[in-house]
Every structure is written in C-alpha cells, then in structure tokens.
Structure 1
C-alpha cells in the first residue's frame, strides 16, 4: 500500500471519498499535487490576520532573529577590514592569509557546532537549541570585543560560529514545522530573509562607525552583533514548541492541540487539522533515529534517505559556492573596479545589502507560487550569465590602455549587483525550504547538521581561498563560479525534487518512488465548483 493510500485510511478518509467523482466536471479544472490538501486549504478557516496567524508570525519572527546574527556577520567583516583603527589593532590587511584565518575560523565553528546542535534539537527541542546557541553568540561577542591580539579575535570568531550554527540549525526547522502547509514556502523563505535583517544594519553601522576616530569604530559593530540573540533569549519560551517534535516524543495530544489552535483556528473538525494529524501519526516515528544521537546512518542507509540527503548536500554546496561568497570580500572587489576611497566602498557595501534584501524578499513572497525546481535551474543559469558579464568587463578593463573608460567599471559593478539580486531571489528563500522539505521529522535535525557541515566546508573553501585567489589572479577567479553555476543548474535539473504543493509527510511517498524527480512533478486534476466545493477527478 502506498503512502497516499495509507493516508486515506486516516480520519479524513470519508471526505477523501466524497471529493472523488466520475461525473462530468462542472466548474474550474486545476492541476494540483495533492487533491486532499488542496480541498482542506480551500475550506480552511485560518485567516491571514487571525489571532492564530499572528501568533505564528511572532514565532517565526523569533526564529528570524536567529538568522539576523548570521547575516550581520556577512557584512561585518567586509565593513571592518578597510577601517583604519581595525588595521592598527590587528594588521590583517584587506586580503591574504590573516583575513583567511579570521574568516574561516567562523566557518570552522559552524562545522564543529553542527552535530552538537543536532543532539540538543532532537533531545530537548527546537526552542532550547535556539536559546543555547544565542547565549554562545553573546559569549563570542564578548571575546571579540575584548580582543587585543589577532589570536584572541580568531578564537572569538570560532565561538561566534559555534553559537550561530546551533541557533540556525534549529530555527529554519522550527519555522517550517510550525507553519500551515500552504504557508510553508513563504514562512521559511521569510525566515531566511533574516540574513538581511542583519546584513543591512551591519553595512550601515560599519559605514557610520568609520567616522569614529578610535577603537570603538570597530568595537561598536561587534557589540551590536548580539542584538538578534538577545531578542531570541528573551522571547523563545513564549512561543510554542514544534508540533512535529511533540509528536516524535510521544506528546500526541499536545501536537493535536497545537494544530487545532494554530492551523485550524480553534476548529477541531477542520479538514486541514485532520489531514495533518493523520499524516503526523503515519509519518513520524516515536522510536526513530532522533532518539539515538550518535546514529547518522539514517541519512544514507536507504535509497529514500540518500535521495533526501542529496537535496541537502546540493543546497549546501550551491547556497555557498555559486559566487555569492565573493560578498565577504566586497571591498577588495570594489578596489579592483577602481573604487578606492574607504567611505565609497562602505557606501557600495550598504547598497549591495539593500539590493540583496530586495531580491530575497521578492523571492520569499513568491516562493509558494513558483515551482522550486524551475527557479533553481533557470535562476542558477542566470547567475552564471551575470558573472560571465562581470568577468568579461573586468577582462576588458585589465587589457585596456589607461585611462580605463568609466563605462567598463560601471558595467562590471552593475553586473555584479544584478548577479547578487538574482542569486538572492532564487536561493535565499529556498536555502531553508529545500532541506526542510527533503528531511522527514525524525532526521530533520541531523539533516540540518549535514547541511551546516556542507555549507561550513564550502564556506571554509570560500573564505580561505577567496582572499588569496583575488590577490593572485583577480577577476579570473570569477570564471570558476561561472563554470560551476552551469554544472549546478544541470544537477538541479537531473536530481532536484519538487516539494511545492505537498505536505511534508506526503513527500515520503515521493522519495519512495523509483524516480523521485518524476514523481514530484506528477499532479492530480481537481474541479472547483461554482460554490467552492472541490472534487478530485484523476491523476494527470
């Protein structure tokens, strides 16, 4: 019996039969991935601004704040490196091995913290993991602010990376697990936009603090990195625990109460609640590998698991190594484009952050309307195109006799900014959505640990090799990402599984099929009647 058949044995079996019909269709015909879910959503009483919805928004905002500290760091380093007083204190230069050291130790903290975060998340819950991670972020902030040597600063960077990986391992899983199925893409995509809730303030703060003529020019931006963590610490125990974590730990009644209150608008007879609860009981094991902290075989021991892990690894690699890692060294890139003044570089860094946020926000808002797989295939190809234009114009600048026409440098800068808008539109919302959809509840924490290890490894490669490569081969380093983005697009086309329009538990059926990619693209034909009733007709 298939997973779909099993679900129909649940409490919603009666209404599943009622929507089947061999009569000639009357009304609007649609193709949907899951007819039961489509009907339940159409009849849902959960309003966008109902009290239940507002509570969900607040809970997602708390998770959002975990991403703020991570995003803050992305603009922080690029903004501090050219500062006079930072250089007087640590003598790192703007590129080279010292910059690689302080950049990549943050990533090493990510890698080390990932398995620790998985243990805490599976045993104590998503909220406790966010809480612990944010306290470690504050500890790391204290160390870097008090640093008087490069070694102490590097240790603080490691501790920051450790804390941020704990909080960002649990937060996207939490945002995904508490969201109603039809809000999942937007909720998790907007969570990931928390990156820009950190990167824009960091760019603005470093721009302003550059005018301070003492060590507080770099210490103030570091102190403010803890703001998001403080919000989480003060708020996290005022939000509900994930219903999927509750179900996986034998608290079925609490999980059902959550669904009724937050997804059903208080209606225990809601079809959406019945569908989700039946799938929880079917798909979530209370004796799964999440109870064995040391057991990571669950990620590879079955064909189903290997397909799931492949989605996680592909997103971990593509999300870090598609050219976006160049942002850590924006000031170096601006120098190579002829922008020499530190104030002007920091101004462009702020513009970069705003353009990034705009792209990510647009992508997040539209994420539930756009097929994930198509966005990743065509969006990654577009990234390759913008980088190719940027590198080509930089090549023309390098071979042109002095003076270099301003149009070349402006064109290269525009292509770089448009690449970034394109990347953020495609990847920022989906960096959390794709792994969370690919991982079933009992392996989600370990799967996010795998994601963090993968992103950490690629981030280490980015941050260690980036300054050295930019110093030695300059713009030619961009061609590496042009070629790799084309390869990534091919991988997404061949192996990317579409998760749009299905519940998290129904994806178990998709991954059990001989060809999960083909299965994920299958649809059912439904007819929406004149009065809003829904009938499932057949598979398309």
Structure 2
C-alpha cells in the first residue's frame, strides 16, 4: 500500500510502475509476441574491446568530443592555482572580493551569452560543426588570454573562451550519446563530464610547475596551454562520423544506416542495427509531424516540461552543491583554516584534482549497474552530512585556531568531493542528454549549459564576497541548499536504467510516447490494463 504523501512524488510513482512492469512481462511467449527490444539484443553483443570498429570509434570520440569538458576543468583549476602565483597577483594588482569574482565568473557569462546560437549550429550544420566552431573560438580566446597586457584584456579573453565553450558542450554530448553503441552508451556518455578533471589535473600541475618561473610566464604558460583540448578536437573531429540521428533528420538515411552498420553492426546489417534504424526513423518522423523541434517544444508538453525541469536541476545542482568553493577558491578556504603556504596550497589543489577524477571515472562504470537514482540519492545525502561536518570543523578552527580542526576541514573537503563525484560529475551531462528526445536534444543541452554557467557566474561572483565578509558562516547557506537537493532528488529524479535511448520517452510521455519503443511500450500497455 502506497504512503499517501509519497504518491505525490513522480519518482515514487515511476518506481511503482517499474515494479509492475517487471512482474507482468516474464514469459518467452510474450517476448516472442512483442518482439525483442534493443536492450535484449544488446545483451548478446560483444564487448567494445573485441570489436575493431568500436575501438576506433571510442578512440576518436575521446579527443574529438569528450575532451570538450577538459577546457572547463582546466579553467577552474587554473584560476584557482593562479591565485597562488605571485607574479599573476602582482600583475593584476592582487584582485580580491568582487573584482576576483568578476574575473572568475566572466567565462560563465560568455557561455550563457552563446546559449541561443550553439544549438542552432549543432542542429542546422551537424554536431561536428558545433564542436569545430566552439573549439576555434576558444583557441582565439586563450591566445588573447596568454598575451594579456592589462586586466581588461584578460577579462575579455575569458569571456571569449566561455562563449566558445557552449558550442562544444552543447554538441559534444549529443554526438557521443547518438553515436555510441547501446551496450556502452551510458558509460561512455558518463565519462564525458569526468574529463573536466583531466583538464583540472593538467592545469593544477602545470601551474604548480611554473610557480618557480620568475616572470609573467609563470601565468602566461598555463593560460596558453588552455588551448590544448580545443586543438585536439579540431584535429580529430572530422575523422568521427556524423550522428546517424542528425543524418536521418536531414533526409540522409542511407548515410545514417552505413554509420550504424559500421559501428554498431561490425559492418553488417544486424537485427540490432535494423531495430535501431527503424526506431530512430519513426521517432524523428513523428517529432517533425508534431512539430516538436522548436524552442517552444521545450515547454509544449508535460513530458518536455518535466525533462527541462530535470535538466535545469542537473545544471544548478552540479554547481551549487558547494563544489564551486573548492573549484575556484580553494586557496581562500585553505587560508581560513591555517594552511597559508602557497606551495602546499598548490599541492593540495593538484591532489584534489587527481582524487576527483579517480572517483568520477570509476563511478561512470557503475551508472548502468547501480542506476542513476540510487547514485543521486547517495550523493546528495552524503554531501549534506559531510558539508555540515566541514562547516563545524571550520567554525572550530576559527574559534580555537587548533591545527587539528584545520586538518579535519581539509579531510572533509576530500570526503565531500567523493560524494559529489559519484553522481554529479559523471551523470549531470549523461542524465540530461539521455532524457532529451532528438528533436530538442541540442536545445535542451543548451538549457543545461545555461543553467550551469548562470549558476557558476553567480557562485563565482558571490563566493569571494561571502568568504571575505563572514568566513565559515557562509557555508551555512550551502548546508541549507543541500537539504533542498536531497528533497528534489528523492521526489523527482527518475530512473532511466535499462532503457535504450529512443525508449526513454515512455518514462516521460507514457502512452503518448513518440517512438515505437518496442517492448517497453507494450509493457506500459500491460500495466495500464491491469
């Protein structure tokens, strides 16, 4: 018997529905009647490392698309580390408070300004062109940043980098999830956002190494190297095939079928390839017929409104969980607990980056085994408890100046990052991109980037002011906010484990789902009959 108050939450209702589905469809006779679905066919597929075509695909996707997130990670770690570089602080007159906030946040402002244009390029000209345009803009921005002669030039260059970033982070996850074989789609897409830490690790250790350079090159070299991920993308993206879904949407089905055959069928038109091709064709045809491809489509149906709510939450929670304090203002946090040595601060920054990447990368391999919802719940509850302990340790140090309290606060930072990285680092992008149907996928990802960067902009502008004025008491704001995240995750984060990309529509749209969704749609019909 359902608890009345819980039945108001969509996630609880969906959990009940999934239980009924698994109970009703169990016989071989029913499976033969309804036909196999993509997940059934995928079970007998070989692993990617046994198929040369998929090895080549993923080897190219890593530098061509997945590295899009490395630039963002590089920037966060670089700006954190530059605050420990004496020549950078002296060159820009020791920026603090609101000035430091604007300098860090301007990249996010640039990213939000390009939000309307990024999906236009990705949808009109293809996912590869979206990545190419974004990478080119970011290279221009990093060159200007490294050559900066004054504060204004450095500020403008960071705006340009942010402007280009949205093009990449809108097109890249769409290309990855639309190209990946169903067997590895969830894992590979989850790995996307973990590359944030690859950029972060490189920036942290590059800046740590350039600390010893006694000139402005101690910060110009890290600034210039920020273009590396973008260079990798430009050099490799045109060796990657275009999204078969984009090709079908632009009346190029023969090319789409060839891509599916080569990378999902090992060169043959297998049953899996046939089923994928037919579902993609039908889904896109119905989306066009129902005119569900415009900006208005994001809110035109209850299913889409729910999707956009979740996407917005992903962007917001991925930046407002307290992690922004660590990403951009770690040196200020360490100062507040008595760790003031610049070399030690840079070392801690580098170690945190490695720790975070190891946790996030490992978690990416469990999203399909454990499920999205359990990981989100573990993450939000864990972050709330640990952040409260971090706040208490910081308060204790502020009052007593005991080194043990400062060490405890640093330990809490590492534990907090563990809980953050098990869900929001691998899943924020992967979950957002998989719940969006093709017709609004690029636009929905633009909403994700907008919510992310708007949250970062506000965070980066407000955080240094809060830290400077009220110190550890500012952490209480995040303690309260994390409780809100726990409630939202419990009530609204829906499980998508076990569904193919086109079949996820059933979860949000029910009987109104556009794609045929083969067996899953039939399962839903059985549920309604009962």
> Is the TM value for this pair above 0.5?
yes
The TM-score with structure 2 as length reference comes to 0.88
* Residue 469 (structure 2) pairs with residue 468 (structure 1): no
User: After TM superposition, what 4+ stretches of structure 1 lie above 3 angstroms from structure 2?
Assistant: 17-20, 285-293, 522-526
Alpha carbons 2:194, 2:357 under 8 Å: kept: yes
What's the CA shift string for 1:403-423, capped at 9, x where partnerless?
Answer: x33221111110111101210
Q: Who is 2:9 aligned against? A: none
Q: Who is 1:354 aligned against? A: 354
Q: Who is 1:376 aligned against? A: 376
Residues 380/219 of structure 1: CA separation in 2 closer, same or farther (3 Å cut): same
Residue 185 of structure 1 aligns to a residue whose secondary structure is helix
Alpha carbons 2:187, 2:365 under 8 Å: kept: yes
1:258 Cα deviation from its structure 2 partner = 1.1
Distance in 2, Cα, partners of 1:287 & 1:441: 8
Distance in 1, Cα, partners of 2:316 & 2:178: 24
Distance in 2, Cα, partners of 1:451 & 1:324: 17
Distance in 2, Cα, partners of 1:523 & 1:482: 40
Q: Who is 1:72 aligned against? A: 74
* Residue 182 (structure 2) pairs with residue 185 (structure 1): no
Give ranges in structure 1 of 5+ residues lacking alignment: 1-16, 24-33, 527-537
Residues 510/312 of structure 1: CA separation in 2 closer, same or farther (3 Å cut): same
Residues 162/122 of structure 1: CA separation in 2 closer, same or farther (3 Å cut): same
What's the CA shift string for 1:375-400, capped at 9, x where partnerless?
Answer: 11221110111111100111111222
* Residue 46 (structure 2) pairs with residue 38 (structure 1): no
Distance in 1, Cα, partners of 2:198 & 2:172: 15
1:247 Cα deviation from its structure 2 partner = 1.3
1:318 Cα deviation from its structure 2 partner = 0.6
1:43 Cα deviation from its structure 2 partner = 2.6
Distance in 2, Cα, partners of 1:237 & 1:290: 33
Residues 22/498 of structure 1: CA separation in 2 closer, same or farther (3 Å cut): closer
Give ranges in structure 2 of 5+ residues lacking alignment: 1-24
Alpha carbons 2:114, 2:163 under 8 Å: kept: yes
Distance in 1, Cα, partners of 2:192 & 2:26: 37
1:89 Cα deviation from its structure 2 partner = 1.1
Q: Who is 2:407 aligned against? A: 410
1:19-418 paired onto structure 2 within 5 Å: 20-21=28-29, 36-45=37-46, 47-61=48-62, 62-93=64-95, 95-268=96-269, 270-285=270-285, 288=288, 295-326=294-325, 327-400=327-400, 404-418=401-415
Residue 266 of structure 1 aligns to a residue whose secondary structure is coil
Alpha carbons 2:337, 2:398 under 8 Å: kept: no
Distance in 1, Cα, partners of 2:91 & 2:26: 73
The TM-score with structure 1 as length reference comes to 0.87
Q: Who is 2:455 aligned against? A: 458
Larger % of helix: which? 2
Distance in 2, Cα, partners of 1:354 & 1:47: 27
Distance in 2, Cα, partners of 1:343 & 1:18: 61
1:103 Cα deviation from its structure 2 partner = 1.0
CA RMSD of aligned residues (A): 2.7
Q: When the two structures are aligned, how many residues end up with a matched partner?
A: 493
